[in-house]
Amino acid sequence: MTPQEYCQKKAAQSGSSFYYSFRFLPETQREAIIALYAFCREVDDVVDEISDKSIAITKLQWWREEIQRLFHEIPNHPVTKALKIHLQQFNLAEEHFYEIIDGMAMDLQYDAYPTFKELQLYCYRVASVVGLMSVEIFGYQDRQTLKYAHDLGMAFQLTNILRDVHEDAARGRIYIPQDELQQFEIKPGDLLQQKTTENSIRLFQFQKQRAEEYYKKAFENLPETDRFSQRSGVIMAAIYRATLEEIENDGFKVLEHRVRLTPIRKLWIAWKTARQENKRFRKLQAES
Tens digits of residue pLDDT in 78-131 = 999 999 999 888 989 999 999 999 999 999 988 889 999 999 999 999 999 999
**Domain match, 155 and 60 both:** no
Distance CA 13, CA 153 (A): 22
pLDDT at 113: 95
Based on the number of CB atoms within 10 Å of its own CB, is 55 exposed (0-12), middle (13-18) or buried (19 or more)? Answer: exposed
**Domain match, 150 and 103 both:** no
281: part of which helix (H) or strand (E)? helix 263-287
**Domain match, 49 and 125 both:** no
- To the nearest 10 degrees (0 to 180), the angle between helices 231-249 and 198-220 is 160
Most confident among 11-20, 177-186, 270-279 (mean pLDDT):
177-186
User: Across residues 39-68, what is the average pLDDT?
Assistant: 93
**Domain match, 282 and 175 both:** yes
Tens of pLDDT, residue by residue over 152-164, are 999 999 999 999 9
Q: Of the candidates 77, 109, 141, which is a domain's last residue?
A: 109
**Residue-range definition of the domain harbouring residue 13:** 1-109
**Domain match, 99 and 138 both:** no
Tens of pLDDT, residue by residue over 174-221, are 999 999 999 999 999 999 999 999 999 999 999 999 999 999 999 999
**Domain match, 140 and 276 both:** yes
Distance CA 19, CA 267 (A): 10
**Domain match, 43 and 176 both:** no
Q: Of the candidates 63, 89, 109, which is a domain's last residue?
A: 109
Tens of pLDDT, residue by residue over 111-121, are 889 999 999 99
**Domain match, 266 and 223 both:** yes
DSSP state of 205: H
CATH number at residue 20: 1.10.600.10
What is the phi/psi pair of residue 241, to 5°?
-70, -30
**Domain match, 282 and 158 both:** yes
pLDDT at 15: 63
**Domain match, 235 and 285 both:** yes
Q: Of the candidates 86, 109, 132, which is a domain's last residue?
A: 109
pLDDT at 163: 97
**Among candidate residues 19, 24, 8, 15, the one with its CA nearest the CA of residue 231:** 24
Looking at the 3D structure of the chain, how many domains does it have?
2
**Domain match, 90 and 50 both:** yes
Contact 239, 270 (CB under 8 A): yes
pLDDT at 241: 97
Q: Is the pLDDT of residue 11 over 70?
A: yes
Contact 14, 41 (CB under 8 A): yes
**Domain match, 117 and 247 both:** yes
User: Across residues 49-67, what is the average pLDDT?
Assistant: 94
User: Across residues 239-245, what is the average pLDDT?
Assistant: 96
Distance CA 235, CA 64 (A): 31
**Strand, helix or coil at 162?**
helix
